[in-house]
A and B are shown apart, each in its own frame.
Chain A
Amino acid sequence: MEFEPVIGLEVHAQLLTEAKIFCGCSTKFGAAPNTHTCPICLGMPGVLPVLNRKVVEFMMKMALATNCRINPECNFARKNYFYPDLPKGYQISQYAHPPAEHGWIEVENNGGKKRIGITRIHMEEDAGKLLHDEHNPTSYVDLNRTGVPLIEIVSEPDIRSAEEAASYLRRLHETLVYLEICDGNMEEGSFRCDANVSLRPKGSAAFGTRAELKNMNSFRNVQRALEYEIKRQQYILEGGGEVVQETRLWDDTAGVSHPMRSKEEAHDYRYFPDPDLVPIQIDEAWIEAIRRGLPELPQAKRERFVRDYQIPPYDAGVLTASRALADYYEEVVRLSGQPKIAGNWVMGDVLRLLNEEKGDIRTCPIRPAALADMIKLIQAGTISGKMAKEVVEQMYRTGNTPEAIIKEKGLVQITDEGALSQTISEVIARNPEQVAQYRSGKEKVFGFFVGQVMKATQGKANPQLINDLLKKMLAGG
Chain B
Amino acid sequence: MELYELTIHELLDKLRTGETTSAAITASVFERIDAVEGDVHAYITLMRESALAEAAQADERIKKGEMGPLTGIPIALKDIYCTRGVPTTCGSRILLNFIPPYDATVVEKLRAAGAVFTGKTNMDEFAMGSSTETSAFGVTRNPWDLERIPGGSSGGSAAAVAADECIAAFGSDTGGSIRQPAALCGIVGLKPTYGRVSRYGLIAFASSLDQIGPFTKDVEDAAILMNVIAGYDPRESTSVPEEVPDYRTFLGKGIEGWTVGIPKEYFVEGIDPEVEAAIRRAIQVVEGMGARCVEVSLPHSRYCLAVYYIVAPAEASSNLARYDGVKYGFRAEECRDLLDMYKKSRSAGFGAEVKRRIMIGTYALSSGYYDAYYKKASQVRALIKGDFDEAFKRCDVLLTPTTPTPAFRIGEKMDDPIQMYLSDIFTISTNLAGVPGISVPCGYTRAGLPIGVQFMAGHFQEGRLIQCASAYEKQAKIEKRRPKL
- Chain B nearest CB from A204 CB (Å) reads 29
Q: How far is the CA of A268 from the CA of B208 in the complex (A)?
A: 23
Given contacts A80-B318, A87-B327, A272-B318, contact A45 B98 (CB under 8 A): yes
Range for the number of chain B residues in contact with chain A: 35 or more
A46 touches B104 (CB 8 A): yes
Asked if A236 is an interface residue, CB under 8 A from chain B, the answer is: no
A interface, size bucket: 20 to 34
Contact A276 B238 (CB under 8 A): yes
Closest Cβ–Cβ distance, residue B65 to chain A (whole Å): 35
Q: Which of B235, B324, B328 contacts A89 (CB 8 A)?
A: B324
Say whether A277 faces chain B, with CB atoms less than 8 Å apart.
yes
Assess whether A9 is interfacial by the CB under 8 Å rule: no
B362 touches A45 (CB 8 A): no
B144 located at the interface, meaning its Cβ lies under 8 Å from any Cβ of chain A in the complex: no
In the assembled complex, which residues on chain B have CB atoms less than 8 Å from the CB atom of A278? 237-238
Residues of chain B within 8 A (CB-CB) of A113 are none
Provide the residues of chain B in CB contact with A80, threshold 8 Å: 317-318, 321, 365
A48 CA / B207 CA spacing, docked (Å): 10
- A141/B100 in contact, CB under 8 A: no
Q: What residues of A have a CB within 8 angstroms of the CB of B317 in the complex?
A: 80, 270
Within 8 Å of chain B (Cβ to Cβ): is A201? no
Residue numbers in A under 8 Å from B206 (CB-CB):
275
Q: How far is the CA of A88 from the CA of B326 in the complex (A)?
A: 11
Within 8 A of A (CB), among B413-431: none
Across-interface contacts of B8 in A (CB, < 8 A): none
Give 1 or 0 for each of A24-47: 1 = CB within 8 Å of chain B CB: 000000000000000100111111
Contact with B along A300-319 (1 / 0, CB 8 A): 00000000000000000000
Give bound CA distance, A270 to B361, whole Å.
Answer: 10
Nearest CB of chain A from residue B181's CB, rounded to whole Å? 21
Contact indicator B321/A272 (Cβ below 8 Å): no
Which of B15-23, B196-204, B254-262 makes up part of the contact surface? B196-204
Residues of B near A87 (CB, < 8 A) are: 322, 326-327
Report yes or no: B322 in contact with A48, Cβ–Cβ below 8 A.
no
Known: A45-B82, A47-B201. A275 touches B315 (CB 8 A): yes
Check if B374 is an interface residue, CB within 8 A of chain A.
yes
Please tell me if B101 contacts chain A, counting CB pairs below 8 Å. yes
Residues of B within 8 A of A268 (CB): 366-367
Residue of B nearest to A85 (CB): B326
B234/A50 in contact, CB under 8 A: yes
For the complex formed, measure the closest distance between the CB of A262 and the CB atoms of chain B, giving whole angstroms: 14
Min CB distance A476 to B, Å, is 90
Complex Cα–Cα for A90 and B315 (A): 12
Q: Which residue of A lies closest to B338 (CB)?
A: A84
B100 contacts which chain A residues (CB < 8 A)? 39, 44-46
CB–CB A46/B201 < 8 A: yes
Report yes or no: B367 in contact with A89, Cβ–Cβ below 8 A.
no
Is residue A49 within 8 Å, beta carbon to beta carbon, of the partner chain?
yes
The reply to whether B366 and A276 form a contact with Cβ atoms under 8 Å apart is no
A45, B236: Cβ atoms closer than 8 Å: no
Contact of B237 among A44, A50, A82 (CB under 8 A): A50
Q: Specify which chain A residues have a CB less than 8 angstroms from the CB of B235 in the assembled complex.
A: 48, 50
Complex Cα gap A88–B207 (Å): 14
- In Å, the complex CA distance between A422 and B235 comes to 86
Q: Measured between alpha carbons, how far is A271 from B104 in the docked complex, in Å?
A: 28
Which residues of chain A come closer than 8 Å to B199, judged between CB atoms?
Answer: 46, 48
Tell me, in angstroms, the Cα distance from A50 to B235 when the chains sit together: 6
B187 within 8 A of A: no
Name the one of B95, B238, B327, B362 contacting A42, with C-beta atoms under 8 angstroms: B327
Once the chains bind, are B237 and A272 in contact (CB under 8 Å)? no
Q: Tell whether B370 is near chain A: CB-to-CB under 8 Å.
A: yes
Q: Per-residue 0/1 for B157-201: is the Cβ within 8 Å of any A Cβ (1 yes, 0 no)? A: 000000000000000000000000000000000000000000111
Most buried by A among B237, B362, B366: B237
Q: In the bound complex, how far is the Cα of B102 from the Cα of A270, in angstroms?
A: 30
Contact call B200/A48, Cβ cutoff below 8 A: yes
Is A78's CB within 8 Å of the partner chain B?
yes
Given contacts A46-B82, A50-B235, A275-B207, contact A270 B104 (CB under 8 A): no
* Residues of the A chain whose Cβ atoms lie less than 8 Å from the Cβ of B122: none
Known: A46-B203, A88-B321, A89-B321. A272 touches B236 (CB 8 A): no
- Whether B237 contacts A45 by the Cβ 8 Å rule is no
- Chain B contacts for A51, CB-based, 8 A: 237
Contact of B309 with A by CB under 8 A:
no
Which one of B81, B82, B208, B366 contacts A270 once the chains associate, using CB atoms below 8 Å? B366
- Flag if A45 contacts B338 (CB, 8 Å): no
Given contacts A50-B237, A270-B318, A270-B362, contact A44 B328 (CB under 8 A): yes
Interface string of B197-232 (1 = CB under 8 A from A): 001111110111000000000000000000000000
The CA-CA distance from A348 to B193 in the complex, in Å, is 68
Interchain nearest-CB distance for B207 vs A (Å): 4
Contact A82 B200 (CB under 8 A): no
Best-buried of A87, A90, A270, A278 by chain B (most CB within 10 Å): A270
B301 within 8 A of partner (CB): no
- B-side contacts of A88, CB under 8 Å: 321-322
For residue B90, which residues in chain A have a CB less than 8 angstroms away from its CB? 45
Query: Which residues of A are found within 8 Å of B203, using beta-carbon distances?
Result: 45-46
Interchain CB contact under 8 A, A270 and B365: yes
Q: B88 in the interface, Cβ–Cβ < 8 Å?
A: yes
Name the one of B236, B318, B367 contacting A78, with C-beta atoms under 8 angstroms. B318
Report the Cα distance A87→B318, complex, angstroms.
Answer: 12
Q: How far, in angstroms, from A276 to B195 measured CA to CA in the complex?
A: 11
Closest to A276 in B: B207
Given contacts A43-B327, A88-B321, A268-B367, 18 further A-B contacts (CB under 8 A): A39-B100, A39-B101, A44-B328, A46-B81, A46-B200, A48-B200, A48-B237, A50-B235, A51-B237, A80-B317, A82-B324, A89-B321, A270-B362, A270-B366, A271-B370, A272-B314, A275-B206, A276-B207
B residues with CB within 8 A of A: 81-82, 88, 90, 95, 98, 100-102, 104, 199-204, 206-208, 234-238, 314-315, 317-318, 320-322, 324, 326-328, 338, 342, 362, 365-367, 370, 374
3 closest A-B pairs by CB: A89-B321, A275-B208, A270-B365
What are 29 A-B residue pairs whose CB atoms fall within 8 Å in the complex? A39-B101, A45-B88, A45-B90, A45-B95, A45-B100, A45-B204, A46-B81, A46-B100, A46-B204, A47-B102, A50-B236, A80-B317, A80-B321, A80-B365, A87-B322, A87-B327, A89-B320, A90-B318, A90-B321, A141-B326, A268-B367, A270-B317, A270-B318, A270-B366, A270-B367, A272-B314, A272-B365, A275-B207, A276-B237
